[in-house]
Structure 1
Amino acid sequence: MHKLTEKNQLLGEILSGMNRVIVAFSGGVDSTLVLKRAQQELGSSNVLAVIVASELFRNEEFDRAVELAEKMGIKVYQTEIKELEDERITENIPDSWYYSKKLLYSHVNLLAKELGYKYVLDGMIMDDMEDFRPGMKARTEAGVRSVLQEANFYKQEVRKLAKELELPVWNKPASCSLASRIPYGTKLDKHNIEQVDQAEKFMTKLGFNMVRVRYHGEVARIEVAKEEIADLLDHRDQINLKLTSLGFKYVSVDLLGYRTGSMNEVLTEDAMKVEFG
């Protein structure tokens, strides 16, 4: 039997024993696959997509997630959390990610209890274990189930199965909290979150889908795919004008190109172990 077929079969076995589930749904490929397979195994009436609006994620992502879940025929519960009201999160140190996820999981767990759902599922995958992910500690403490990890799914396999299942987000670029654009030690507030949000939206309109605008005070550091750096430079005057209008004084390009988790590159291995083991 093909490895992906075996993993999908195992995923089905895990889900089929759960009866009724909530999926913490972001609209990304990972949580969409969880939602679809839960629907297939348990039926639409036993699956609830909880979609959480956050100050650290784009409103457009929230709206698209709601639209996608509804198109899939899944019941949707819309709610929100206020991360910028928690000083442990706005402090923006490595363990702030833990408190951010703790807030999310506590909120969804409370809903599960109120609505009578025994299991809460998220979309974490095996790749998440290879980067600095303090959210996994919060996940484990909250008793949330990462069924794709339990079935040993990696991102490439998630995308392949999502494509086979004709999920429209099978090749959607990964999204992450806007806080990931701001270096540790720089306090989070509505202003710097809005700066990077608007800057990235502008870059996307120019056609750069894989893009990060990293905030360094007066400096914006742009990451795009290495093969797109020359194209970015062709738009340099337009980009500089827009980003300086948003409050940046200087605009730079990262020659290493786009990469997820680049803000974690400054963390030492010891620092990560001290906080999270």
Structure 2
Amino acid sequence: MNPELSRLSASLDTLPKLAFAVSGGVDSMTLAHAARFLAIDFAVVHAISPAVPSSATERVKRHADAGGWNLTIIDAGEFRDENYLKNPVNRCYFCKSNLYGRIREIIKDGMIASGTNLDDLGDYRPGLKAASEIGVVHPFVEARLRKQDVRSIARFLKLDDIAELPALPCLASRIETGIGINASDLIFVDKVERLVRSAIPDADVRCRITHDGVQLQSSVSVATDLVEEIAAQCEAEERIWLGVSSYKRGSAFKHDHKE
């Protein structure tokens, strides 16, 4: 067995029945597949909202069908939470509070588990506070596994469309702190990013909505015709186009933002 998977197995074996919060990203998807491989008793919960990329929901449904997962799709309700919609720097706290609270309502027994890995603990992650308050467990963290270890497990399980998947946090992470979260901005962000990824699927791409306008960030160069198409979409929606810059992780979060 893959050594990283062996460590994960030891972690999962200490836990009762689990409900995995699966976003559609590499971590939570790999966790569910690994549990299936290890014959762990589990359920999968996926939340849909304007902040969840449509491609992520499509991926979860496809893998659930292929893997025989017990999948429940929910509305976590964050778009009814004014604290979340105001988009403070700790927006993720309110998002995860709604998500895990809703999962707890429908999963009466067992524990809720996330795909958080050891590398995530070094970031500013207010969602982890919400997870702690609701008693969410993190099997990858318990097994001392990092992102590269998660990808190693995915490759071992032959999850070819998952193993090298770029990080894909929720679409609300593209909206600069202090700009209210609304569905139209998130639909626009998803549309632009799907367009770019159709041309350069392995790139880290973010369509940022900032206080100054729209900026595309990419880890690789973007073809001129694609840039022109995005600029035209901005013009059609009366958005200010700021151009393309290098990808910078977490740049929409402004810790010094004042209401």
TM-score if structure 1 supplies the norm length?
A: 0.84
| Equivalent residue runs for 1:66-81 within 5 Å | 66-81=61-76
C-alpha change, 1:155 and 1:100, in structure 2 (3 Å) is same
Contact 1:21 1:119 in 2 (8 A): yes
Work out whether 1:215 is the aligned partner of 2:200: no
Letter in 2 for 1:215: I
Work out whether 1:247 is the aligned partner of 2:238: yes
Query: Which secondary structure state, in structure 1, belongs to the residue aligned with residue 239 of structure 2?
Result: coil
Contact 1:16 1:41 in 2 (8 A): no
| Equivalent residue runs for 1:78-117 within 5 Å | 78-113=73-108, 117=109
State the partner residue of 1:51. Answer: 46
Letter in 1 for 2:28: S
Higher relative contact order (CA closer than 8 Å, sequence separation 6+): 2
State the partner residue of 1:262. Answer: 251
**Match 2:148 to one of 149, 156, 168:** 156
The CA deviation at 1:241 is 1.4
Work out whether 1:9 is the aligned partner of 2:11: no
Query: Which secondary structure state, in structure 2, belongs to the residue aligned with residue 262 of structure 1?
Result: coil
State the partner residue of 1:274. Answer: none
State the partner residue of 2:195. Answer: 202
Structure 2 gap segments, 5+ residues each: none
Q: How far does the alpha carbon of each residue in 1:157-215 deviate from its partner, in whole angstroms, 9 at most, with x for none?
A: 11112101112311111111111111111111122222222222222233354211101
| Equivalent residue runs for 1:171-210 within 5 Å | 171-207=164-200, 209-210=203-204
Give distance in 2, aligned partners of 1:50 and 1:84. 18
Contact 1:92 1:185 in 2 (8 A): yes
Q: Which one has the bigger helix percentage?
A: 1
Q: Which has the larger radius of gyration?
A: 1
**Match 2:26 to one of 25, 29, 38:** 29
Give distance in 1, aligned partners of 2:34 and 2:244. 40
Give distance in 2, aligned partners of 1:76 and 1:174. 22
State the partner residue of 2:135. Answer: 143
- Percent identity, please: 25
Q: How far does the alpha carbon of each residue in 1:214-259 deviate from its partner, in whole angstroms, 9 at most, with x for none?
A: 012562111111xx32x434543233212322331323112xx113
TM-score if structure 2 supplies the norm length?
A: 0.90
Give distance in 1, aligned partners of 2:80 and 2:152. 39
Contact 1:91 1:188 in 2 (8 A): yes
The CA deviation at 1:17 is 3.0
C-alpha change, 1:183 and 1:120, in structure 2 (3 Å) is same
Structure 1 gap segments, 5+ residues each: 272-277
State the partner residue of 1:126. Answer: 118
Alpha-carbon RMSD: 2.1
The CA deviation at 1:129 is 1.1
**Match 2:218 to one of 224, 231, 234:** 224
